[in-house]
Structure 1
Amino acid sequence: MKKSVYVLTFLFILFISPSFLAKPTVEARGAILIEAKTNTILYEKNAYSKFYPASITKLLTALIIEEQLSENHIITKSQNSVNTIPKDSSEIGLKVGDSYNKINGLYGLLLGSDNFIAHDLALAHSGTIGKFAELMNTKAKALGAMNTHFTNPHGYHDPNHYTTPYDMAQIAKGAFANPTVQKIAGTAQFNFYVNNKNKYIPIKNTSRLLKSETPYYNPAVVACKTGYHSDAGQTLVAKAVYGDMELIAVVMYEKTPNQYIDVNKLFDYAKTYYGVEQKSDIYTLKNKTITPWSEPSITRAVEKGWANNATNYNDTIYTEDLVAMLKKVGASYNGITMQEVYDLVGLKKGDLITRSSFAEIMTFAAKKWQLTLAITTTKPLPSDVTHLSDDTKAAISYMIDRDLMLPSNFLFNPNRILTFAEAISTIDRLPL
């Protein structure tokens, strides 16, 4: 294998405060945040794990009914629904025989989260709950939800009624793309008209994100749906719009009021670090964490497929993320393994990486891949690294020699945690 000289142009690494780096801490067991126009994942936690959705199921029910049931269809609360639906289900107070039209039914479904309305809408559409559930699963797959299985239109607990945060985000994206569904899901209160009694039932949206009197109110939220049962915990889906950016957040298995806190954290995170740009009819994600000094390296890394444009590049990088990068970059060199990193610097999955450990890892990679790291000038070592091992000092000397990580006030800060931007900008310079 041909040996190369590791030659770097001047690169100044910025020092970013920990508060600027922090990702949101989400209490939910499962969560996801996507930008809907580009369908880009901006945050995920157990996004592909199975969870019970509870009443956020009703978003899919609403979409099917809005698209396929005629506008003038009259629905009646049936004895069948009373006999079938558990008595502890949510409802708005309809009596058997009360009738309403499709639009009122959708408001009762999404604002009042009425399980009996969900049941009767499904019967009005398909004749049986089983047939409607089959349609739900077919529709879910068409929307990109490949690991979802629904057995009913309301979400009351059934062990075989499940989804994932990712799937639920795809379902919500499809549901909120329907203007009527989005409008209804974003309405704070509504007067539900009962045809046969010529009276109104006032109903309010169950989501506190739409209630200005609560601390969880978010004026950017344009649609949302809540859910709860003991096996599902609190679940919540919400859509927020910031300029041209459309965000959809899903949190699953929460405790009140954390579902609202988590969703607002996710929205705040996205509006701080991301945006959307439009050229003709094409939308692209704008990553605000890309700075002028890191942009060339990040652009090349994204083009080559070993970096993701949705990454917060100011965020600290975990060992497994660095190893994944090195495996892709050095695929023809057999990459670098987690075991090698552990043997070298004692880091394992879930550990953050210091600058000194990163220097050692890069030196190891260069040796493994037979790349020569030539030091061209003699620069004094910063005083805060003189206590380190000779190998570590040699690696740091090389990095300083190449102006890769310049000392701040003559200190290298070897224990400072490495960022994605620093890692990518360094790896990009490897002459592979």
Structure 2
Amino acid sequence: MIRQKWTRAWCCVFLCMITTSILPVNPVYGAPKKPVKPAEVAEGPARVSAEAAVLMDVVTGDLLYGKQANKRRPPASTTKIMTAILGFELGQSDEVVTVSPKAAAVGEATLHLDPAEKINLYELITGALVRSGNDACVAIAEHIAGSEEQFVQMMNQKALALGAQNTHFVNTNGLPNKEHYSTAYDLALMARHGLQIPQFASITRQKETKIHFLEPDVFMDLRNTNKLLWNYPYADGVKTGTTTAAGKCLVASATKEGRQLLVVVLNAPDRFGDAKKLLEWGFEKTETVRLVNAGQAVAEFPSLKEMVQVFCKDPIDVSLPKAERKNIQTRVVWEKNANSPVQAGERLGHLEVWLGKQKVTSIPLLSENEVVGDRSLIRLFPF
């Protein structure tokens, strides 16, 4: 049984790495894009106490604010974001987990699990995210991969697949270890992915809840460690973390007027104040701009006899400070020689979106139909 789960788990991670490398399009989250580098984002609000912080638009993935965004730091219990992601992606919510002696022996923040207790995987993940149960994380890992060590390898592979290049996990719960680290930017990438999982998003927005143990048949009351859910009306996630080495950490999301933003603050003496300040700044000072609609023709490619219209398959949305909207530019780059035959749906080039001197994203341009022509003039449609 464990061998089968382990094989299935590695196949899932391998497939994730392949699909992430070719940047698939999520119809809800828009066209794939390379985010603006943290060092080049606009300045945000003053007096942010966090040593490292980022603010990201959840839908577009664009980075709106960065402070030492790529500095490696202990992530504490924000580690559990990745543990929960793999728990949902590699397991079934109604699978029954039997708690091992090793999992039950994990200390500090716990659900006080006992050996041989039985509980559904969904309930266990809820305990990890809401009450920050360290023991729950080990139980999840052992159930999915057979051991915590094997599960941690999968966490690291998944992190790389999501673009988190400055992250390395050695455990599932964030207990201190000098080789266990992440960054504000990497945690934002992981949390953004987690928020695309309905069960993850639903759990992390709950202020209070209950989990049900199957054996023994008891319920446990849980209260979320994320106080932002109580003192900021737009808050809807995600996870706290605290250790002596990491300081006070928080990954938080909020939705206002249909727009969701995500903030990460690490080693922040005023983590909830910092998060609220950054989120409010983001809602007030930044916006999401639609540059191109799905299927909209944006240019004409010169084929053998006539011009071929090219289009973007998916819409192009860009999030940025309102003051910088005037600096947006688009450029068409052809990847195929002019005066060549084309096939319908063939990729002929790409559309680059620039914010000043920074390239924000690059989107494939596809031919509308199969056409031949003999013209060399390239004419762009106005945006």
Please tell me the residue identity of whatever aligns with 2:205: G
Task: Give the percent of matched residue pairs that are identical in Structure 1 and Structure 2.
Answer: 27
The letter of the residue matching 1:249 is V
Residue 255 of structure 2: aligned partner: 241
CA drift at 1:109: 0.7
Q: Say whether residues 1:254 and 2:273 are aligned partners.
A: no
Q: Is the 8 A contact 1:244 1:276 kept in 2?
A: no
Residue of structure 2 equivalent to 1:191 = 210
In structure 2, distance between residues paired with 1:120 and 1:299: 48
User: 2:316 matched to 1:282?
Assistant: yes
Change (3 A) 1:94 1:157: same
Partner residue, 1:268: 280
Q: Distance in 2 between matches of 1:50 and 1:251?
A: 13
Cα distance in 1, alignment partners of residues 155 and 172 from structure 2: 8
Q: Residues 300, 120 of structure 1: CA spacing in aligned structure 2 closer, same or farther, 3 A cutoff? A: closer
TM-score of the pair, normalised by structure 1: 0.60
Shift of 1:289: 2.3
Q: Write the distance in 1 (CA, Å) between the matches of 2:330 and 2:285.
A: 19
Match of 2:232, as an amino acid? N
Larger radius of gyration: 1
TM-score (ref. length: structure 2): 0.67
1:83-108, CA deviations, whole angstroms, 9 ceiling, x for partnerless residues?
A: 4x2x3x10133333222101111110
Q: In proportion to residue count, which structure has more strand? A: 2
| Matched residue SS, 2:255 | strand
2:148 is the counterpart of 1:129:
yes
The answer to whether structure 1 residue 72 and structure 2 residue 94 are counterparts is: yes
Q: Normalized per residue, which structure has more helix? A: 1
Letter in 1 for 2:322: K
Structure 1 position 43, deviation (Å): 0.9
Matches within 5 A, 1:18-417: 23-83=45-105, 85=106, 87=107, 89-211=108-230, 217-255=231-269, 258-278=270-290, 279-280=293-294, 281-285=315-319, 287-289=321-323, 295=326, 298-299=327-328, 306-307=356-357
User: How big is the alpha-carbon RMSD for the aligned residues of Structure 1 and Structure 2?
Assistant: 2.2
Per-residue CA deviation, residues 234-283 of structure 1 (Å, 9 max, x unaligned), is: 1110111223432111011122xx00000001001101111224444332
Q: Give, in whole Å, the separation in 1 of the partners of 2:176 and 2:69.
A: 20
* Structure 1 residues 290 and 208: CA distance shift in structure 2, 3 A: same
Letter in 1 for 2:278: L
Separation in structure 1 between the aligned mates of residue 44 and residue 84 of structure 2, nearest angstrom? 37
- SS of match in other structure, 1:90: coil
Change (3 A) 1:108 1:300: closer
CA contact (8 A) 2:131 2:222 kept: yes
Does the aligned pair in 2 maintain the 1:245–1:275 contact within 8 Å? Answer: no
SS in 2 for 1:141: helix
1:357 maps to what in 2?
none
Give distance in 2, aligned partners of 1:305 and 1:116.
Answer: 46
What is the CA-CA distance between 1:37 and the residue it aligns to?
1.9
Q: Deviations over 1:10-31 (max 9, x none)?
A: xxxxxxxxxxx97232101111
TM-aligned CA deviation for residue 301 of structure 1: 11
Distance in 2 (CA, whole Å) between partners of 1:72 and 1:233 is 35
Question: What aligned pairs does 1:420-431 form with structure 2 within 5 A after superposition?
Answer: none
Relative distance call for 1:65 and 1:285 in structure 2 (3 A) is same
Mapped to 1, the partners of 2:151 and 2:324 lie a distance apart of 47
Residue type at the aligned position of 1:261: G
| 2: CA distance, partners of 1:57 / 1:68 | 17
Q: What is the number of residues matched between the two proteins?
A: 275
Q: How far apart in 2 are the matches of 1:208 and 1:119?
A: 25
Unpaired segments ≥5 residues, structure 1: 1-20, 212-216, 311-432
CA–CA distance in structure 1, aligned partners of residues 228 and 102 of structure 2: 34
Amino acid of the structure 1 residue aligned with 2:182: T
Post-superposition shift, 1:182? 0.8
Partner AA of 1:285 in structure 2 = S
Residue range with higher mean Cα deviation, 89-98 or 159-168 = 89-98
- SS at structure 2 position matched to 1:75: strand
User: What is the CA distance between 1:121 and its match in structure 2?
Assistant: 0.6
> Which residue identity does 2:273 align to in structure 1?
I
Give the 3-state SS of the residue equivalent to 1:289 in structure 2: helix
3-state DSSP of counterpart to 1:254: coil
Aligned partners of 1:308 and 1:24: how far apart in 2? 24
1:334-386 per-position Cα deviation (integer Å, ceiling 9, x unaligned): xxxxxxxxxxxxxxxxxxxxxxxxxxxxxxxxxxxxxxxxxxxxxxxxxxxxx
Consecutive unaligned residues in structure 2, runs of 5 or more: 1-42, 295-314, 332-352, 361-383
